[in-house]
Structure 1
Amino acid sequence: MQPQKTALITGASRGIGRAIAEELGKDHHIYAGASKDASQIVDKLPSAEPFEVDLTDTEALIRAAREIAQLDVLVLAAGVLHKAPFTELTDAQWRESLEVNVMAPVTLTRELLPALRRSSGLIITINSGAGLHGVEDNSAYCASKFALRGFTESLQEEEAGKVRVTSLHPGRTDTDMLAGDDGRPKMDAVNVAKAARLAVDAGPGAVVEFMRVRPARI
């Protein structure tokens, strides 16, 4: 019997990350990434364990990643959004946006790349429509997502033939991040999880490099 495949998912305690953990948890052992109390998702999955770490603490992130020797899928789903006009955003909000949305994915990818190369694995970065075009009152978020897209696309070129890399760009999704907004249509996070599943199931002989999924126009 082949060993069960494994997936590390950041932001697995809620929203898109949680939906992806529940989807991939059907046939993967899940490392459930959360800043605290990952038990709420771990306890609901057939095979899972917590990956509890503050994504802004680089040294702690490195230590936690080095505990993982075998990995097939890395899903970088954690993110923060500070919604405000540019003139009202603080330096601290800019730093957190870049640390969580860009630097944490970079650090995790660097540390886990050897394991992913051994398994001919897959990296999925959860980006956004904000990684494709500017959005009013989202300057820090857009800047971080543009940076994440550049990182992902460069990684696709460098790791071609060794690790598959997917840039997944969900549209408006019904999560805490968009709670209390203007009421425009949103889709369920399950729809994004299904898109992530497509990327997982496409391999190992093919790679889905880019996906844009958005609410249906009714």
Structure 2
Amino acid sequence: MAVRRKILVTGATDGIGLALVRRLASRHDVLATGRRPSGEPEQLLPGGVLYTVADQSEPEVAARSVARALLKNNWSRLDYAILNAGVAYAAGPGQETAAAIRQTLDVNLLTTIALAHTLFPYLEKAGGQLTLIGSVSRKCEPDFASYAASKTAMHEFARALREEWRGRVRVQMLHPGPTMTGMYEKAGFDPGWTRHWFIRTGDMAAMMEAAIRAGGSPKTLSFLQYFSGASVLGRTIR
């Protein structure tokens, strides 16, 4: 009989996060987080999925919200924590506002760090795995300097944690390629014809689940891997 794992997914009310929760919910106990108020996300999420509001623009508040949700639902351990939430703003050099830069760093980096430290004892108890979701854009994306910087910093944070937590908690860094989410529109950026090369959210979620199950870090999940079939491994978290 398959074991039901306890899995946390942040940024789970849209895009890749929502697609991933929908894949996991039938086989595992899932706690999803997002910015949307309670009541609305439950219409999107599969039945049985727990939801808590955790606005990552306030790192300490978000970490406390997740800790309270774990306590409220009597979760004393976590098998997997997938920190997927992120935000981006499109702007050329010198055009980003201080508020946009601060929110990008708060959501993508500072809350990731705060959550990692909050979740460590839960993951350690299960011998679990922390997976951070970065982006291929970390290697330089025009008009997304702060976003790229936040993902590069997350990559280095994951590398440090792998050493600090070795033998206690596995740490993984995944860098998805362009995906058909609403992120570009929300960021105020039109990708134009390149959108045709974007991967569907459900397919990216399948690639992510396979990569999480297989372990190893860092990993890039791109359309080249998808169309070659190399990442469609049939691996599900179990």
Taking structure 1 as the reference length, the TM-score comes to 0.89
8 Å CA contact retained: 2:11, 2:86: yes
The two structures, once aligned, show a CA RMSD in angstroms of: 2.1
Match of 1:100 among 97, 107, 110: 107
One-letter amino acid of the structure 2 residue matched with residue 34 of structure 1: G
The 10-residue stretch of structure 1 (162-171 or 23-32) with the greater mean CA deviation from structure 2: 23-32
| Equivalences for residues 1-218 of structure 1 within 5 A | 4-37=4-37, 39=39, 42-43=42-43, 44-67=45-68, 68=70, 69-131=76-138, 133-179=139-185, 180-184=190-194, 185-202=197-214, 207-216=215-224
Q: Deviations over 1:148-171 (max 9, x none)?
A: 101011111111221111111111
Secondary structure in 1 matching 2:173:
strand
Q: Deviations over 1:33-92 (max 9, x none)?
A: 111146555454243111212112234223223232321111111111111102110111
Secondary structure in 2 matching 1:86:
coil
Taking structure 2 as the reference length, the TM-score comes to 0.82
Secondary structure in 2 matching 1:173:
coil
CA distance in 2, matches of 1:98, 1:54: 13
One-letter amino acid of the structure 1 residue matched with residue 19 of structure 2: A
CA distance in 2, matches of 1:3, 1:40: 30
The 10-residue stretch of structure 1 (49-58 or 118-127) with the greater mean CA deviation from structure 2: 49-58
One-letter amino acid of the structure 2 residue matched with residue 120 of structure 1: G
Summarize the Cα distance change of 1:90–1:45 in structure 2 as closer, same or farther, 3 Å threshold: same
CA distance in 1, matches of 2:216, 2:60: 32
8 Å CA contact retained: 1:74, 1:123: yes
8 Å CA contact retained: 2:63, 2:111: no
Q: Deviations over 1:133-152 (max 9, x none)?
A: 11111111111011010101
Percent identity, aligned pairs only, is: 28
List alignment gaps of at least 5 residues for structure 1.
Answer: none
1:201, distance to aligned residue in structure 2 (A): 2.5
Paired residues in the alignment total 213
One-letter amino acid of the structure 2 residue matched with residue 15 of structure 1: G
CA distance in 2, matches of 1:58, 1:124: 18
List alignment gaps of at least 5 residues for structure 2.
Answer: 71-75, 229-238
1:188, distance to aligned residue in structure 2 (A): 0.8
Secondary structure in 2 matching 1:102:
helix
